[in-house]
Structure 1
């Protein structure tokens, strides 16, 4: 039954997917997005490298507003991989009125440093947008969801099973505020509560450099209140990246 729910939720989002493109209007359909990239490289006495990339695409079509998000993080220190994370997510929002909507979405994440080969998540529910002022908004979402996680070989051998899955309550809070004419503050919080609590917070400040190019500083915190053995409950990530809006 749980797997049928996951398949249904993913199937609901499939009609919303399409090829990404630069900002354009085609009939009633509007595409726009942001591409983000940050990288470091040191050689000599210390050999390190890291790459953080993100592509966020928004698509509006009538009463539908859809989001496609792709993220990647890779870090290497002295030829040893110290971080590797890949994420793909899709969500479709159907507007009920100017402030309310219903949503359905699914995501896939690979992060071997957590002890899992991959994680699949799906959720659907109700969302509301609060206009706090001319320069700030708050979006809230809540609904039922499903979480499926596959353990890596080491954890399978230690625990004696391959997968973990549970029904969850999925909640989202997104706050956004303009600072002056060229800067923007965002606070994003996502939580899934089922057998345990899994949450993600991203606090960011974006400042325009010239035209569509901006500099972004972000602090990402990931939390799991019941991590696998020898794993930490909290992971933090601090990034300085270039962001291009199109």
Structure 2
């Protein structure tokens, strides 16, 4: 219950703060924009279930710099048993040489107790290129070296005899987005880190405007790990229907 209250409080507090930040930063060549995403399901009676999905994405442009910040939270509970719990925080800075080429540096933190790890830290630097950048369609790719640190939970530490893993990784991103109509768009995002194992994440989403800046988003997320810990599966899937507010 405490985790659910913390998630709800954080999402509620973050949205107006981000909106105020946007109002403060729109000056001259400074721009600040973002998206707040939220979905929830609560049932009581013969079956008690709770499902919360939240995401806050911010983008700040200043001259040649484009900075992105992301917060995500997922929590699911079925009859007082937690069945899914994931928290993610990430930041990336892009230095643009021109409209299509840039250098990037990022850092990500992920916590998912169902993978056997207490948390994971990943950082990467490299080169990005926009192959298509029009009003209706964007196609961009990023590639570069990175580093990943994984902290095992107590159960896995006792089983394996060590408490952490780390490796140098090759980091790659493919991001495709296109408008289907004036009120809807399709997006495909693939993120992969390859070192002593392959970790990849694919998000396929369809967004349709409801009114003004409010939209409905349907997304299918697939996470893959080529070397899962004992007793863990290599593939996780997540299907969400959420409300999306752009500012």
> How much has 1:98 moved relative to structure 2?
1.1
Q: Which residue matches 1:105?
A: 106
Q: Which moved more, 1:202-211 or 1:22-31?
A: 22-31
**Pairwise mapping of residues 13-162 of structure 1 onto structure 2 (< 5 A)?**
20-22=18-20, 23-24=22-23, 25-131=26-132, 135-162=136-163
1:143-174 CA-partner distances (Å, limit 9, x unpaired):
00000000000000000000000000000000
Residue pair 1:206, 1:215 contacting (<8 A) in 2 also: yes
Deviating beyond 3 angstroms after TM superposition, the runs of 4 or more aligned structure 1 residues are 19-24
Paired residue secondary structure (1:26): coil
Instruction: Go from structure 1 to structure 2 and tell me whether the alpha carbon gap of 1:164 and 1:76 turns closer, same or farther (over 3 Å shift).
Output: same
State the shift of 1:28 in Å.
Answer: 2.2
Map of 1:7 onto structure 2: none
State the 1:130 CA deviation. 1.4
Deviations 1:196-240 (A, max 9, x none): 100000000000000000000000000000000000000000000
What residue ranges of structure 1 are gaps of 5+ in the alignment?
1-18
Which runs of no fewer than 5 residues in structure 2 stay unpaired?
Answer: 1-16
Matched residue, 1:218: 219
Distance (Å, rounded) in 2 between the aligned partners of 1:210 and 1:134: 20
- The question of whether the paired residues in 2 share the 8 Å contact of 1:167 and 1:194 is answered with yes
Please name the residue that 1:199 is paired with. 200
Give the whole-Å Cα distance in 2 for the aligned partners of 1:105 and 1:126: 12
Is 2:244 aligned against 1:243? yes
CA distance in 2, matches of 1:216, 1:135: 18
What is residue 187 of structure 1 aligned with on the other side? Answer: 188
The CA RMSD measured in Å over matched residues stands at 1.1
Maintained 8 Å contact 1:200/1:220:
yes
1:101 and 1:33 mapped to 2: Cα distance? 21
Residues 21 and 31 in structure 1, CA contact (< 8 A), matched pair in contact too: no
Q: CA deviation at 1:137?
A: 1.5
DSSP-derived class of the 2:232 partner: coil
* Equivalent position SS for 2:177: strand
Paired residues in the alignment total 228
* CA–CA separation in structure 2 for the residues paired with 1:21 and 1:240: 23
Q: What is the CA–CA distance in structure 1 between the aligned matches of 2:146 and 2:176, rounded to whole Å?
A: 22
Question: Shift in Å at residue 136 of structure 1?
Answer: 1.5
* Bigger RCO (CA 8 Å, 6+ sep): 1
1:73 Cα deviation after fit: 0.2
What is the SS of the residue equivalent to 2:229?
Answer: coil
